[in-house]
Structures are given as C-alpha cells and as structure tokens.
C-alpha cells in the first residue's frame, strides 16, 4: 500500500489567497483526520471524518477553514482567505476503524507558508 498521500508537499502563497490541501487515505480506512503542527502549539486536531461524514470540527480555527470528504478516497482542507498565522505543517491521517484497531497512519504533511 502506498500509505496516506498528501499534496502538495510544500505550498507558498500570499496573504488573502485561497489554499487547498489534498489527502488520499489508505484504501479501506474508515476514519480520516486533519492535524496542524506548529512550534508554538504542537499537534492540533482540526477535524475528522468517519465514512466521509464530519464528526468533530471543533478544532477548525475559524470560518476561513473548511474541509470536505466527497468520497472514501479523497479529502480536502481549504483556507480562504489565508493569513500568515496559518503557516504550519498540515497532516492528514487515516485509521481502519475496526474494533480494537485504532492506530492512525500519517501522511508526509504539507508545509504551508503564507507570506
């Protein structure tokens, strides 16, 4: 299996622009998680999905952030408009969801820089 795939790996944009991050989970996994990592705040959960349905989005910083999962093999995290404080590494992770198997598998991350 290819593991969790994220694109792009690096994104540099200017303040006010729209940014879209993409994630392909491991095939057959029922759960998908979006995390953000910064030096100041460490790893934070933004949102997670179960069978393509958002379960908890309380970690989404504000209305500028939105996430979708239109099917089992694809999810997007969108920031519009972007701000310099959004600069971080964004990770996607997926998990099988079967009873007792709660290990999460992480993608390589997208490093976002907002100028």
Judged by the rule CB under 8 A, the positions of this chain that interact with other proteins are 4, 30-31, 33, 42-43, 45, 48, 50, 56, 91, 93, 95, 97, 100, 102-109
Report the distance separating Cα 48 and Cα 94, nearest Å: 9
Shortest reach from residue 72's CB to other proteins, in Å: 15
Q: What is the nearest approach in angstroms of other proteins to the Cβ of residue 14?
A: 24
| Burial of 71 (C-beta count, 10 Å sphere; 0-12/13-18/19+) | exposed
Residue placing its CB nearer to other proteins in the complex, 7 or 17? 7
Shortest Cβ 109–other proteins spacing (Å): 5
Q: In whole angstroms, what is the distance from residue 50 CA to residue 95 CA? A: 10
Toward other proteins, which CB reaches closer, 82 or 95? 95
Number of other residues whose CB lies within 10 A of the CB of residue 70: 9
d(CA 53, CA 58): 14
Specify the residue, 19 or 23, whose C-beta has the smaller distance to other proteins: 23
Nearest-approach distance from CB 70 to other proteins, in angstroms: 21
User: Which DSSP letter does residue 9 get?
Assistant: S
């Amino acid at each position: 299996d290819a593991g969790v795939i994220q694109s792009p790996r690096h994104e540099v944009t200017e303040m006010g622009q729209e940014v879209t991050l993409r994630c392909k989970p491991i095939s057959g996994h029922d759960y998908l998680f979006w995390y953000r990592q910064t030096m100041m705040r460490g790893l934070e959960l933004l949102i997670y999905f179960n069978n393509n349905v958002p379960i908890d989005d309380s970690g989404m910083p504000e209305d500028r952030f939105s996430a979708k999962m239109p099917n089992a093999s694809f999810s997007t995290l969108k920031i519009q408009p972007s701000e310099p404080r959004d600069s971080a590494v964004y990770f996607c992770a997926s998990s099988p969801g079967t009873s007792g198997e709660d290990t999460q598998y992480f993608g390589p991350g997208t490093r976002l820089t907002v100028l």
